[in-house]
Structure 1
Amino acid sequence: MHLLQPLLHPPENEQILLGQAQRLAGYTLGELAALAGLAIPPDLKRDKGWIGILLELWLGASAGSKPEQDFAALGIELKTIPIDQQGRPLETTFVCVAPLTGNTGVVWETSHVRHKLKRVLWIPVEGERQIPLAERRVGAPLLWEPSEEEERQLRLDWEELMDLIVLGQVERITARHGEVLQLRPKAANSKALTEAIGTNGERILTLPRGFYLKKNFTARLLARHFHL
């Protein structure tokens, strides 16, 4: 039997990355944590990013919290996605923090969102609350890049949301804006404020915002890949 070991260095090519991700499929988070010597939190309330950290460890990801992709040399971003028993996503997927100032002349082609979503290694993980964290299984990986239609949808939503930010309407944006991409507050607490543009072009303080993929988008992507 192949002895499973974490990749100690960033993978040299996508075959190595995908091969390692495929080997993790079927293992529980508890088994992977024990093999890697990582403590398991009782739940994810205080450790929301723990599953991502565990899988980054196994896959040799290098970016950490840097703005580049997790596997910068390969141009691939890693996204874990909690799913239900039918293989449907249980929550929206964080893409990146949204810039609320200094957006004059920004275009989709050079945007951070597009950069992060150019190529994504999706790793589904059982996410239903009744399954204890240690017993949740890792699913088969999917290496994805947006089709022309998916990119078009993302671009239209991004342009609409960025227009609202630039026009000083950030406070009016709700999670309902956007077909596949949404903008939501992203802060550990309500004291973490950041600068933005107000309705009259003045500087205001507001909660940091993040771009998130809506569940309808990731559900279609997973369904197509896993023939659900």
Structure 2
Amino acid sequence: MSRAEAMAGLTLGQLANHHQIETPKDLKRHKGWVGQLIELELGALAGSKPEPDFVHLGVELKTIPVNQVGKVLETTYVTVAPLTNILGLTWENSVVCHKLQQVLWIPVQGAREIPLTERQIGSPVLWSPSLEEAALLKQDWEEIMELIAIGKVESITARHGEVLQLRPKAANSQVLTQSIDHNGAQSQTNPRGFYLKTQFTQKILSGLL
């Protein structure tokens, strides 16, 4: 936390220079660049593995883009959704549950008119879900997974879920993965990912930015 707090107020350009890393012109082809830079500064180890970024601490790291007044600008990706071999999978042993036990949120200016090198890093927020938040997450996850299990993955929209949503997670619509159709047979569909809705993450950050 002291290292995370020491970053607050620095620009991405200053942090990149410190690590002798070139800052890309924009994030169109470097979508994960900000998160990777913050991971490097804080020493996160997990990369894209299905476990918290700071494995030894049980802490997941999430950079979150905000505007000038601290409004969250986009949903937060959590993990890929399992679409097959889900029999017996419960909320308690799901990757989503494990990754959201404790999260270190790092707000970063995300307004496109601000050059990437000049975007400032905000104050960190270390968060664990309250009983109420955990119940909402579990409820959404269970409802979405039930629809996947009965072969209705294609009918799930971003509007499903109060705090957690399921959305396509691929570079383009040509990317396909195994899934289950409504007859219980193997089928093909676009990969899906779990995302936290902006109004949920806004509540986490509100008053703490």
Task: Normalising by structure 2, report the TM-score.
Answer: 0.98
Paired residue secondary structure (1:152): helix
**Alignment partners' CA distance in 2, 1:113 and 1:43:** 29
Pairwise CA distance, 1:191: 2.2
1:48 matches 2:31? yes
* Equivalent residue, structure 2, for 1:100: 83
Letter in 2 for 1:35: H
**Alignment partners' CA distance in 2, 1:38 and 1:188:** 25
The runs of 5 or more residues in structure 1 that have no matched partner are 1-17
Paired residue secondary structure (2:206): helix
Letter in 1 for 2:19: A
Letter in 2 for 1:75: G
**Alignment partners' CA distance in 1, 2:85 and 2:146:** 13
1:118 matches 2:105? no
Q: How big is the alpha-carbon RMSD for the aligned residues of Structure 1 and Structure 2?
A: 0.8
Q: Deviations over 1:87-138 (max 9, x none)?
A: 1110000000000001111111111100000000000000011101110000
**Alignment partners' CA distance in 2, 1:75 and 1:137:** 27
* Equivalent residue, structure 2, for 1:197: 180
1:88 matches 2:71? yes
The runs of 5 or more residues in structure 2 that have no matched partner are none
Q: Which piece of structure 1 moves more, 120-129 or 217-226?
A: 217-226
Mapping of 1:147-162 within 5 angstroms?
Answer: 147-162=130-145
Pairwise CA distance, 1:64: 1.1
Pairwise CA distance, 1:198: 0.4
**Alignment partners' CA distance in 2, 1:30 and 1:223:** 26
Task: Normalising by structure 1, report the TM-score.
Answer: 0.90
**Alignment partners' CA distance in 2, 1:66 and 1:148:** 26
Ranges of 4+ aligned residues in structure 1 off by more than 4 Å = none
**Alignment partners' CA distance in 1, 2:44 and 2:175:** 28
